[in-house]
Structure 1
Amino acid sequence: MTDAQVVLSCRSLRRDFGGFTAVNNVDLDVRHAQIHALIGPNGAGKTTVFNLLTKFLQPTSGTVTLLGEDITKTDPARVARMGLVRSFQISAVFPHLSVLDNVRVALQRPGGLATQFWRPLTSLNALNAKAAELLESVGLGGDLATVAADLSYGRKRVLEIATTLALEPKVLLLDEPMAGMGQEDVTVIADLIREVARSRAVLMVEHNLSVVADLCHEVTVLQRGEILAAGDYATVSRDPQVRVAYMGTEHD
């Protein structure tokens, strides 16, 4: 087990919807500069856990801690300002803006321009160099003027990750970043996530088990809202309960 700093954790996390318990007694530790996968069959509670961690949902019971601070009752906007940033399974870029403008929009918050509505539009030009540098770092340096809608699906996902990085996250939550991608795009996104995790924690929901095996330091397996197994990929993939519940005979 690593001794890297825990930056996001939850204890005894539970969420009930009426008489249905979607998440029950979940403990999770996400560590700095590591990639942690949350996996499990459909309906296992992965998205609900994401929503609880990012405060889109309040837990029925349990606690959530970010950077040593209890955020169980904290509103989502403040949690994001503290450095917990989430991407969604559906691409969330502005399709009719250029690639550069998408990142400039995201940079307004850390740059202090998001609330300075009286400033002229040209004030955003101060963000051009930083936006271009960020886009170069993720491989989109040649697409600054491209309209986001004209990007391939995989490059849209790269742009989405770039916009989340513009918010200067300390912990990045990625919801199925490889969904719907061909192998070439999967390789690009995997390399990007590996690079991103050099300086921040990454928690990702992902169904592509070869990606999980290749990328992730820690894996937590959910089934029916509860933790079925946790550890590195080699450990959880050998667990008989995990193999029956999720991984199937192709991973024998």
Structure 2
Amino acid sequence: MTVSLNDTAFGGGQSSPGASGGQDSRVVLSARGLRRDFGGFVAVNNVDLDVHHARVHALIGPNGAGKTTVFNLLTKFLQPTSGTITLLDHDITKTDPAKVARMGLVRSFQISAVFPHLTVLDNVRVALQRPGGLSTQFWLPMQALNRLNERAMELIEAVGLQDARKNLAADLSYGRKRVLEIATTLALDPKVLLLDEPMAGMGHEDVHIVSDIIREVAKDRAILMVEHNLKVVADLCDQVTVLQRGEILTSGDYLTVSQDERVRVAYMGTEHE
């Protein structure tokens, strides 16, 4: 996706109102000296990152800056060449992805990952099977899933999909599919939620709806998101970290970051380029 900048996006003027407004700002996910080599290519180099409870933290940067690689390292889809990762005071540097997810670090992907031929309700019930203790009990009748209905409906209502609970996921708009995906990730009761381009491909109305959902979700969990829509970042995020060529260029609130000339150059280049 191409990043588009304009006077509004990097005009400064106002800092983000933040998502939390609370006093609990403990670090729940951190990385120190994170590095990943692919042969002779250094994709991520010396990345230090702190993600706080009840805050929305954006990871931004030009295409190819290493944002998704950082996500893959944090969620252990990739093993770091060097560095350490800590989740809830536990070193997870060498922990496998499934265990990391069970510990409370859950992510979404750039492409919507729902079951298209299941209803909205059944998609959420599938996600609830592990925390509900049903994921390996295949001998139980289908009626056993009914115990998950109450919690499933709570999640569906929390993201505003109650009117579509009986609809097939395939029949939802793209934006509502992404909303359903948020509901299924919340079914795992994450302590830290990583969202990879949650607004990608959405129209203005869907962006507004999903922003409100993320703001609400962040009241009691940490969120780290990769996002190209800088208006969303400005309106939603408490902290912004900018990557360039796999390294951190700067970090701070949106107002601070947006006024950094190095960030403008990283996105738009110089007059001589």
1:101 matched to 2:122? The reply is yes
Native 8 Å contact 1:237 1:247 kept in 2: no
The residue number in structure 2 matching 1:155 is 176
Alignment of structure 1 residues 39-78 onto 2, 5 Å: 39-78=60-99
Task: Indicate which of 114, 133, 136 corresponds to 1:115.
Answer: 136
1:28 matched to which residue of 2? Answer: 49
Q: CA deviation at 1:3?
A: 7.0
Shift of 1:137: 1.1
Secondary structure of the structure 1 residue equivalent to 2:64: coil
- Within the candidate set 236, 244, 249, 2:265 is matched to 244
| Secondary structure, counterpart of 2:250 in structure 1 | strand
Considering Cα pairs closer than 8 Å and 6+ residues apart, tell me whether 1 or 2 has the greater RCO.
2
Give 1:168 shift.
0.3
- The counterpart of 2:211, out of the listed 190, 199, 202, is 190
Partner of 1:137: 158
Distance 1:38 1:229 in 2: 11
| C-alpha separation in 1, matches of 2:59 and 2:122 | 32
DSSP 3-state at the match of 1:43? coil
Residue 79 of structure 1 corresponds to which residue in structure 2? Answer: 100
Name 1:207's counterpart in structure 2.
Answer: 228
Q: 1:247 to 1:133 in 2, by over 3 A?
A: farther
> How far does residue 133 in structure 1 lie from its aligned partner after superposition?
1.4
Separation in structure 1 between the aligned mates of residue 184 and residue 24 of structure 2, nearest angstrom: 30
Q: Distance in 2 between matches of 1:138 and 1:205?
A: 20
| CA displacement at 1:129 relative to structure 2 | 1.2
C-alpha separation in 2, matches of 1:26 and 1:145:
44
The 1:168/1:29 distance shift into structure 2, 3 A limit, reads same
Helix, strand or coil at the partner of 1:65: strand
Contact 1:11 1:25 in 2 (8 A): yes
- CA spacing shift, 1:248–1:235, aligned 2, 3 Å: farther
Partner Cα separation in structure 1 for residue 196 and residue 267 of structure 2: 18
1:174–1:205 CA contact under 8 A, matched in 2: yes
> Normalization by structure 1: what TM-score?
0.97
CA distance in structure 2 between the partners assigned to 1:229 and 1:242 by the alignment: 8
- Cα pair 1:23 1:49 within 8 Å, conserved: yes
1:145 partner amino acid? K
Q: SS at the partner of 2:190?
A: coil
One-letter amino acid of the counterpart of residue 142, structure 2: L
Counterpart residue type for residue 52 of structure 1: L
Q: Which amino acid aligns with 2:134?
A: L
Are 1:223 and 2:239 counterparts?
A: no
Counterpart residue number, 2:200: 179
Root mean square deviation of aligned Cα? 1.2
* Stretch deviating more after TM superposition (129-138 or 91-100): 129-138
Partner of 2:25: 4
**Counterpart amino acid of 1:132?**
M
Query: Do 2:197 and 2:227's aligned partners in 1 also have CA atoms closer than 8 Å?
Result: yes
Q: Which consecutive aligned stretches of 4+ in structure 1 deviate over 4 angstroms post-superposition?
A: none
TM-score in terms of structure 2 length: 0.89
Secondary structure class of the residue paired with 2:233 = helix
CA apart distance, 1:142: 1.1
Tell whether the 8 Å contact from 1:100 to 1:132 is kept in structure 2 after alignment. Answer: yes
Distance 2:153 2:35 in 1: 42
Q: Runs of 5+ in structure 2 lacking a partner?
A: 1-22
- In structure 2, distance between residues paired with 1:213 and 1:59: 30
